[in-house]
Structures are given as C-alpha cells and as structure tokens.
Structure 1
Amino acid sequence: MKTFTRLTLSGAVAASFAILPSVASAQSTMAYPEKCKSQGMDMSKADMPSGGMPMGDMTDYQKASMDGMKVMHMNMMQGMMKKDADVSFVCGMIAHHMGAISMSEVELKYGDNEEAKQMAQKVIEAQKKEIEEMSKWVDKEAK
C-alpha cells in the first residue's frame, strides 16, 4: 500500500509540475546585472569553504546547494564593492534573491515533501519578479 501511495503521489507531483512554468537554473535564466559587477575583481578564483566537509562526501543535494551558494556569495561580494550604498544594497539583494531561487530549484529537484516543493515554487516566482524590478532600478540608477 505504501508503494501504491508513493507512486500515486509521484504522479500527482509530476502532473502539478507540468502546469507550472519551466524552472531552469537561476544562473541560466537570470543574469547578474553587468552594472553590479565590480571591475578588476576576478571572483572565479575565489574559493568558498565547504564547511569542513569534503565535497566527495556530500550528497548530490548538498553539492547542488553548495554550488548555488558559491555563485550567490561571489555575486554578493561583487555587488557589495560598489561605491554607491544604494547600488551596493540592490546588487547584493539581487544576488541574494538569485541564491534563494537556486536553493528552491534544488528543493524541487531533490525534495520529497509536496508542501516544501510548493513553498519553493512560490519563492521562485516571487524572487524572479523582485529581481526583474531591482535589475530595472540598477539599469536606471547605477553609473
């Protein structure tokens, strides 16, 4: 009976995601604004620690989460280096929101709990809208 319930629930989950908008990676669908990037900062060489846990010992879920966190932190550091406090704040928030989307995408891919997946989908929708608004502001206000 447990297997039947799980299969039925899996089918329901698959059906519910068929009607939701496609969820591609935040990094592939939403680019961090050029005006938020700091000149002369090569963040590709920055190494973020993995909390003392060797990457090889991590689950696929943990690796995906860590990858998203690395991108978020690199972008946040770049945004926070802006000389204008307002631009720095908004750029940092864009990166932070992109991190929330990345975390939510990991939940959708690896999570089992329907309620948690619904929360993740709501986060994605809300954060994408806010990123669009903040990116327009950066385009208009950042020098």
Structure 2
Amino acid sequence: MRGRLLALLGLMVGIALGFAFAYQHSHGKGKSEFHAKMAAAMEKMMAAMQKAPMTGEPDHDFVAMMIPHHQGAIEMARLILLYGKDAEIRRLAQGIIAEQQVEIQQMQLWLKRRSERGTKR
C-alpha cells in the first residue's frame, strides 16, 4: 500500500512539474502575470503536498496530501476568475472552488475524527 501511495504522489508531482516546466518554456520571454501566478500557485501547492505529515497509513496520507492539492486547485481557479474571459471556464472555476472547499472540509473533519479516536480507522 505504501508503494502505491508513493507512486500516486510521484505521479501527481510529475504532472505538476510537467505543467510548471511547460509554463516556463512556452511563456518564458513574454510570460504573462497570469502564467507567473499560476506557476507560483503550482509550486506552492507542490511544496505543501511534500510537507504533508505522512504516517505510512494510506488513508491518512492520501487525505494529508489531497488537502493542499485541493487548496492549490482553489487558488488556480481564483486566478482564472481574475484573468479569464470565457463564461464556461469561469463557471467551471466557480464550481471547482465550491466543490473543493467542501471536500477540504470533509477531509479536515475526517482527520479530526481520526485523531480524536486515536485509531487508524
């Protein structure tokens, strides 16, 4: 199980770094403020995911990493609301913000209940 969790984390890190690399190289010279802020949000998200407290227990570790992942998605969605023009994408971003906030609350509650019980399940 721990191997699967590490593989999942590695995949998520790889995808995020790939996007960050693409942003830097495709927009290097004329990098817009939006792209710079998106890259910064992604870097912040990845750093927070890597700092998430790991216990070796897959359920806990998944939730611990997904909270900063969702927070990063919210930050990026807020950026598209500031810079984006397309109505469909703006609605999508608003939905991402609403849904991910609810999911963050669910995960935080799960961690709290788990901590209060003092058990792994």
TM-score interval (norm. to shorter): 0.5 to 0.7
Bigger helix share: 2
Question: What one-letter code is carried by the residue in structure 1 that aligns with 2:43?
Answer: K
Which of 98, 103, 112 is the aligned partner of 1:125? 98
Question: What one-letter code is carried by the residue in structure 2 that aligns with 1:77?
Answer: Q
Deviations 1:36-57 (A, max 9, x none): xxxxxxxxxxxx7952548774
Deviations 1:53-108 (A, max 9, x none): 48774210111101110111011112274332211100111111111111101110
Question: What one-letter code is carried by the residue in structure 1 that aligns with 2:96?
Answer: V
Moved over 6 A (4+): none
Question: What one-letter code is carried by the residue in structure 2 that aligns with 1:66?
Answer: A
Cα distance in 2, alignment partners of residues 140 and 57 from structure 1:
48
1:65 counterpart = 2:38:
yes
**TM-score w.r.t. length of structure 2:** 0.68
Q: Is the 8 A contact 2:54 2:60 kept in 1?
A: no
Give the unaligned 5+ runs of structure 2: 1-16
56 and 84 in structure 1: CA distance in 2 versus 1, 3 angstrom threshold: farther
Q: Is the 8 A contact 1:68 1:102 kept in 2?
A: yes
Give the unaligned 5+ runs of structure 1: 1-47
Deviation at 1:140, TM superposition (A): 2.1
Cα distance in 2, alignment partners of residues 74 and 93 from structure 1:
12
Partner of 2:55: helix, strand, or coil?
A: coil
**TM-score w.r.t. length of structure 1:** 0.58
**Aligned residue pair count:** 96
- The 5-angstrom pairing of residues 15-54 of structure 1 reads 50-51=20-21, 52-53=24-25
Percent identity over paired residues: 28
Q: CA RMSD in A?
A: 2.4
